Amino acid sequence: MSLYTMLSTMADGMLKTCAIFFLTVLFSMPLGMIVMLLRRSKIKPVQWIVKIYIAVMRGTPLMLQLLAWYFGPYYLFGWSIRGYRFTAIILGFTMNYAAYFAEIYRGGIESIPNGQYEAAEVLGYSKIQTFFKIILPQVIKTILPSVTNEVITLVKDTSLAFALAYSEVFALAKQIAASQTSFTPYVVAGVFYFIANYVVAFVMERIEKAFNYYK
């Protein structure tokens, strides 16, 4: 197999990896916001449920969670899981990362001094204005480094989708490496992840710099 055919075969896997990555970011970041709000709810049972959810998401391997999301419906309800693979992957990643993002957001919100809320209240800002104009911009600045970390981890975690036999770049690399008895596909996959994370780090650094105009 020439390097060219290998690359073009793996290119499809790279696209699939990117799809998992972007869809997970797209869904898990806003979902994390909702989870965080529920986690801070004044209704105790809601708090408990969210706490249990976060504990399970953080306390069990993501690979196991992916298997549960994919095979669970069949074993529990006898549902057909044909054509459900990609949905299960996105569900698994989104639910897992939302838990982590929720905790990052919570840390950010709780780091804002109470005086900021009080100053806004005395000046007559509404609750919504206070959150979006005063609190949120400060929260974003404080959580950016942790979010960068999490997003970089996600790039590498996408490889866990191979557990559901989804042909993203890592699964393909394994396949080709086995059939061609060659190490090259792993090198290609490694370079791909590295470059992807380099881009992520570069973009996040830019965003962090944009918030550097104040301390």
Q: Which tokens go with 199?
A: 């881009």
Q: Which is nearer to other proteins, 59 or 115 (CB)?
A: 115
43 phi, psi to nearest 5 deg: -80, 115
Contact 27, 94 (CB under 8 A): yes
Pick between residue 206 and residue 215 the one whose CB is nearest to other proteins: 215
CB of 135 to other proteins, least distance (A): 10
CB 116 to other proteins: min, Å: 6
Residue closer to other proteins by CB (options 78, 115) is 115
- Nearest alpha carbon to residue 146 among 111, 113, 100: 100
- The least CB distance from residue 133 to other proteins, in Å, is 7
From the CB of residue 107, how many other CB atoms can be counted at a distance below 10 Å?
14
Residue type, 161: A
Angle, in degrees to the nearest 10, between helices 3-39 and 44-59: 150
Contacts with other proteins, residue ranges (CB under 8 A): 113, 115-116, 118-125, 129, 133-134, 137-138, 141, 213-215
Nearer to other proteins, 144 or 169 (CB): 144
Of 83 and 124, CB closest to other proteins: 124
Closest approach, Cβ 214 to other proteins, in A, equals: 4
Q: Closest approach of Cβ 203 to other proteins, in Å?
A: 21
Q: Which residue, 149, 190, 161, 152, is CA-closest to 62?
A: 161
